[in-house]
Amino acid sequence: MEEITNVMEYEEIARQKLPKMVYDYYASGAEDQWTLKENRNAFSRILFRPRILVDVSNIDMTTTVLGFKISMPIMIAPTAMQKMAHPDGENATARAASAADTIMTLSSWATSSVEEVASTGPGIRFFQLYVYKDRNVVAQLVRRAERAGFKAIALTVDTPRLGRREADIKNRFALPPNLTLKNFEGLDLGKMTVDKTSDSGLASYVAGQVDRTLSWKDVKWLQTITSLPILVKGVLTAEDAKLAVQNGAAGIIVSNHGARQLDYVPATITALEEVVKAAQGRVPVFLDGGVRRGTDVFKALALGASGVFIGRPVLFSLAADGEAGVRKVLQMLRDELELTMALSGCTSLKEITRSHIATDWDPPRSLPSSKL
């Protein structure tokens, strides 16, 4: 394999290696996939305003997330069914995150259980939660995550129904028969059958199991059954950011579910600033979606994010090269962020400000009036 020099290169390797059904499941977005493209394109409309002649011989990228110290503001987003990408699946991802000294979020729909992931060794891990119709299932899952040492719950709030992912419908997507959704195995909810309907197996599974009545009162309910901090994942507006704070969220993840739910929502980097302003510094706001470069990370931080989560780059690098691939993605993004900071004149994350970027929605900058 010729040397990989950036995160995007893993996608083509994964495409060649994976069965079409699996690659399509990971890669595709909802309907026209406008938001899927926009999640990337929107970053390219943000430009830098680098500051020069700053001593950048020492750069500190460390940060804290919910009180946990990590090496960089780049974390792993929850992505489902990672054993479809590589036999080591979520266990490999967990080891890579731990080696990079950052946070991994485990999906509810993982092909490794919370206990298996915990047994890979030390590491700060969050658990992504889907709320099932059967609340006993939810309570049990949350308790297991707590016992396994997970440090926060990332509650996905944008999926009362599954978005229309046409590739999955064409491919009749279902979890391969040799795999199960390990967290639900003992509950008879671990298998996914493709029924005769004109839908993907996953869409049918969601329709049967995931609770469409989910509302803010359930965010309150969750706080009664766990002491873990709750991150609300899937916020795109100021209105919902305010409600998240009012309802006790410990943090907000600005996410459009990898552009897999409602098409024609804005890119997450576009929605970020509105959400940050509405949160008023009361809780940290994170960005999920479209991050492929260290420059993207810097732009998110400049717009007020406390950190970013990466999803598809993990799946594609895992497919290409297992744990080593995921380690390399985290290292490349780290190195690129460090270089971007140096060339922008920032030696720590707190020095990255809104004035380090220019967006196409900025008011025109008034020039300092010169004394003639």
Tell me 355's DSSP state: G
Q: Are 202 and 174 in contact (CB under 8 A)?
A: yes
- CA–CA distance, 72 with 294 (Å, rounded to integer): 11
The whole-angstrom separation of Cα 302 and Cα 295 is 10
pLDDT of residue 361: 86
Maximum Cα interatomic distance, the chain, rounded to a whole number of Å: 80
Sign of CA dihedral 231, 236, 241, 243: negative
Sign of the dihedral through C-alpha 305, 5, 90, 111: positive
Which residues are annotated binding-site positions for glyoxylate? 25, 165, 257, 260
Residues with catalytic function: 257
Q: Which residue has the tokens 């489902």?
A: 80
For the chain, list residues with pLDDT below 70: 1, 188-201, 203, 205-207, 367-372
Distance, in Å, from the CA atom of 90 to the CA atom of 83, rounded to the nearest integer, reads 7
The pTM of this model reads 0.94
Per-residue pLDDT, 360: 87
Q: What is the reported pLDDT for 274?
A: 98
Q: Give the pLDDT of residue 366.
A: 73
Position 371 scores a pLDDT of 57
Amino acid at 15: R
Tokens of 154: 């990332």
Residue at token pair 């971007």:
340
What's the Rg (C-alpha) of the chain? 20
The amino acid that residue 49 corresponds to is R
Tell me: the pLDDT tens digits for 337-358? 999 999 999 999 999 999 999 9
Count of CB atoms situated within 10 Å of the CB of 298:
27
DSSP 3-state of 245: helix
Residue whose C-alpha is closest to residue 90's, from 326, 260, 289, 288: 326
Phi then psi for 61, rounded to 5 degrees?
-105, 5
The pLDDT value given to residue 334: 98
Q: Which pLDDT score, from 0 to 100, does residue 187 have?
A: 74
- d(CA 276, CA 252) in angstroms, rounded, equals 9
Contacts of 210-216 with C-beta under 8 Å, sequence gap 24+, read: 210/130, 210/131, 210/132, 210/133, 210/159, 210/160, 210/161, 210/162, 211/131, 211/132, 211/133, 211/160, 212/160, 212/161, 214/131, 214/157, 214/160, 216/243, 216/247
Binding-site annotation: residue ranges for FMN: 78-80, 107, 128, 130, 156, 233, 255, 288-292, 311-312
Instruction: Report residue 205: phi and psi, to 5°.
Output: -60, -45
Question: Residue 53, Cβ neighbours under 10 Å: how many?
Answer: 6
